[in-house]
């Protein structure tokens, strides 16, 4: 692991995310390692979802050598610190994201693309919703279906099959 002055600056900065992570590490008796901050720094530059594998590739692209288990462990710590959330969509690898405003995930079951949408109607419904003997902390809504790109492709394929059938009939 090389020492990177940028990471050292980041680790000692007054960034609220860094402060939150410092508090978490200190209160759990964990060391403030450069690796952990390099991983956090990378995660903060990602918009949306990522897998452990993608995260490791990005970190290596930054010139850091970190083992898969270090990446995995740091991600686990960040989840425990309530800074990251894991999603496991049907039939897909686990994906992670920073905890941001609530949003709905639209998952295409054909290509696996995940679209994030802010659904104010649903958020209002959930904010007003009370459950008996239960306090809501957060929620996730996964909507499975077909994205417009896949729907177009599917339509074209169906049309091609139909055209071929008609051609064969005419013969």
Q: Does 107 bind Zn ion (CB under 5 A)?
A: no
Which C-beta is closer to Zn ion: that of 35 or that of 97? 97
Out of 57, 110, 140, 159, point to the residue binding Zn ion (CB under 5 A). 110
In whole angstroms, what is the distance from residue 36 CA to residue 30 CA? 10
In the stretch 111-150, what mask flags binding to Zn ion with x, by CB under 5 A?
Answer: x-x--x------------------------------x--x
Closest contact distance (angstroms) between CB of 115 and Zn ion is 9
Closest contact distance (angstroms) between CB of 135 and Zn ion is 23
Question: What size, in residues, is the chain?
Answer: 171
Which C-beta is closer to Zn ion: that of 44 or that of 108? 108
Segment near Zn ion (CB under 5 A), from 1-9, 10-18, 69-77, 90-98?
Answer: 90-98
Q: Does 13 bind Zn ion (CB under 5 A)?
A: no
Q: Does 47 bind Zn ion (CB under 5 A)?
A: no
Which C-beta is closer to Zn ion: that of 46 or that of 108? 108
Q: Decide if 46 contacts 77 (C-beta within 8 A).
A: no
Residue-by-residue DSSP string for the chain: ----HHHHHHHTS--HHHHHHHHHHHHTT----HHHHHHHHHHHT--S-B-HHHHHHHHHHTT----HHHHHHHHHHHHHTTSEEEE--TTS--EEEE--S--EEEEETTT--EEEE--HHHHHHHHH--BTTB------EEEEE--HHHHHHHHHHHHHHHHHHHHHHH-
Closest contact distance (angstroms) between CB of 9 and Zn ion is 29
Chain residues binding Zn ion by CB under 5 A are 97, 108, 110-111, 113, 116, 147, 150
């Amino acid at each position: 692991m090389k020492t990177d002055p940028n990471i050292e600056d980041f680790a000692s900065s007054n960034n609220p995310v860094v402060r939150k992570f410092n508090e978490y590490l200190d209160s759990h008796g964990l060391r403030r390692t450069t690796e952990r901050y390099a991983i956090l720094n990378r995660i903060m530059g990602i918009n949306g979802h990522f897998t452990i594998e993608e995260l490791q590739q990005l970190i290596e692209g930054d010139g850091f050598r970190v083992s898969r288990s270090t990446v995995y462990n740091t991600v686990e710590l960040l989840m425990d610190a309530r800074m990251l959330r894991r999603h496991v969509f049907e039939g897909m690898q686990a994906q992670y994201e920073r905890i941001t405003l609530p949003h709905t995930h639209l998952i295409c079951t054909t290509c696996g693309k995940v679209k994030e949408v802010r659904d104010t109607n649903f958020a209002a419904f959930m904010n007003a919703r009370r459950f008996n003997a239960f306090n809501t902390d957060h929620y996730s809504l996964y909507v499975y279906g077909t994205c417009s790109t896949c729907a177009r492709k599917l339509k074209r394929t169906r049309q091609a099959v139909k055209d071929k059938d008609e051609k064969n009939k005419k013969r």
